[in-house]
Structure 1
């Protein structure tokens, strides 16, 4: 028998001593490393600034969660169409991207507790009749982001309309202004603080009622892999913590003049 401990035992002993020192001295030790996906082209939720750095409400929420979890995190941009497949393929560990919680998505990923409400609305030229029922929009041209819950809603209910799918909400907005679309459908808050505040949108407004529930989801959650219950537990605890200490409200107030929950 060797009188000297093996390299494996030495490493284990070192880790235990480091953890003990964190507890003893009250220092902040990193507890895990996470790679987090967000969309990166969906202001004000997530977008890149002039230097190419990710910014936005979801990005700040993700960073706040990582701070509470005492985890080292890397936030990356991922096209919306591939965001769930990327999570399942283990390209990252969670999605913080204002993702609507739907039954269809629950079959593929696990969701945290709801971290904001979501409402969808149509936008059209001012003076457009407020009736946006499927019968009223028969033959009308409607733009929507590909892969979104709004796209699923239109495909389910507006089969007699002409639907056009776009990679980003901004692309659909440009076509609405150019007259290539008669309506767009998307997140109400996004339109309220984004598109409808721009000079290009001066002739456009919301039309029709608030839309939510069903295929449009029950609020937004943070997605993790279904087999990753540990991360889900830590995220939910961190969400509770940022709500309790006011961090959530402080971040929200930087972007919106109203509460999201």
Structure 2
């Protein structure tokens, strides 16, 4: 039976055995959690398989680390508790690296740059997205996210509506039940340009890049005690960036370089 990567790392630490030797002998499994509801980063295909940018990055890291990938779908609001509870080893789900989250978990080096954006309908006359100008407006975001934190803190006079998934936010935006929404810039760009329902809408205002909310980038979350695993992930991430694997995955999904947010 495969041992988890966490248990192998513990054995390696206790026995002064390097991870590479342990994993060659034992065949470790890296248990990766993702949401499965955040296309094109992570989603389900028609035949029920997890797919997307996050999934392929995780698989590339497993290949580089000579580990077996095991994918676990987890609702967003329970994804950090599940990690801390030992349900999986890492979270690869386009999670912003923020100071609040760093109090609970550790992160790899960033594998994406991060920014948020407002989205409005194409015929919207909204141009000023200051808290004063948005007073009384209805703004949506996915709950338990940095976008939700941003709206709740910065727009107390707006009608902020939080949803369980990004798809639910998009549905109300496309149906005209929201004056605006706030989301991660890249998936919002993808939604407005590539999807039928997203054709209703456009990105608006300046990118929101306050590090308090957009963080230091997007990273892989793991438990703080798993420092050896964090180092292994950083080495594997650097390797797939250097050998072009990252770019090939990036270009499969996006016309924007996620490491720089440049076209």
Taking structure 1 as the reference length, the TM-score comes to 0.87
Residues 85-100 of structure 1 mapped to structure 2, 5 A cutoff: 85-100=81-96
More divergent stretch after superposition (171-180 vs 107-116): 171-180
Structure 1 or 2, whichever has the larger Rg, is 1
Q: Is the 8 A contact 2:150 2:213 kept in 1?
A: yes
Counterpart selection for 1:54 from 50, 56, 70 = 50
2:10 maps to what in 1? none
Change (3 A) 1:209 1:30: farther
Q: Is the 8 A contact 1:145 1:172 kept in 2?
A: yes
SS in 2 for 1:113: coil
Q: Is the aligned partner of 1:65 residue 2:61?
A: yes
Q: Is the aligned partner of 1:228 residue 2:221?
A: no
Counterpart selection for 2:253 from 249, 252, 255 = 255
Give the deviation of 1:31 after TM superposition: 4.8
Residues 1-261 of structure 1 mapped to structure 2, 5 A cutoff: 31-126=27-122, 127-212=124-209, 213-261=211-259
Moved over 6 A (4+): none
Measured against aligned partners, the alpha-carbon deviations of 1:28-47 in whole angstroms (never above 9, x if no partner) come to 76652221101101000001
SS in 2 for 1:202: helix
More divergent stretch after superposition (118-127 vs 108-117): 118-127
Measured against aligned partners, the alpha-carbon deviations of 1:183-212 in whole angstroms (never above 9, x if no partner) come to 111011101112442233334211111001
**Separation in 1, partners of 2:235, 2:199:** 43
**Separation in 2, partners of 1:240, 1:47:** 25
**Separation in 2, partners of 1:199, 1:56:** 19
Taking structure 2 as the reference length, the TM-score comes to 0.86
SS in 2 for 1:163: strand
**Separation in 2, partners of 1:196, 1:163:** 25
**Separation in 2, partners of 1:197, 1:255:** 11
SS in 1 for 2:167: helix
Q: Is the 8 A contact 2:120 2:181 kept in 1?
A: yes
**Separation in 2, partners of 1:70, 1:200:** 40
**Separation in 2, partners of 1:72, 1:204:** 40
Quote the RMSD (CA, aligned, Å): 1.7
Measured against aligned partners, the alpha-carbon deviations of 1:60-96 in whole angstroms (never above 9, x if no partner) come to 0000000111112201111100000000000000001
Instruction: Tell me the number of residue pairs that the alignment of Structure 1 and Structure 2 aligns.
Output: 237
**Separation in 2, partners of 1:260, 1:150:** 19
**Separation in 2, partners of 1:29, 1:246:** 29
> Structure 1: 5+ residue runs without aligned partners?
1-18
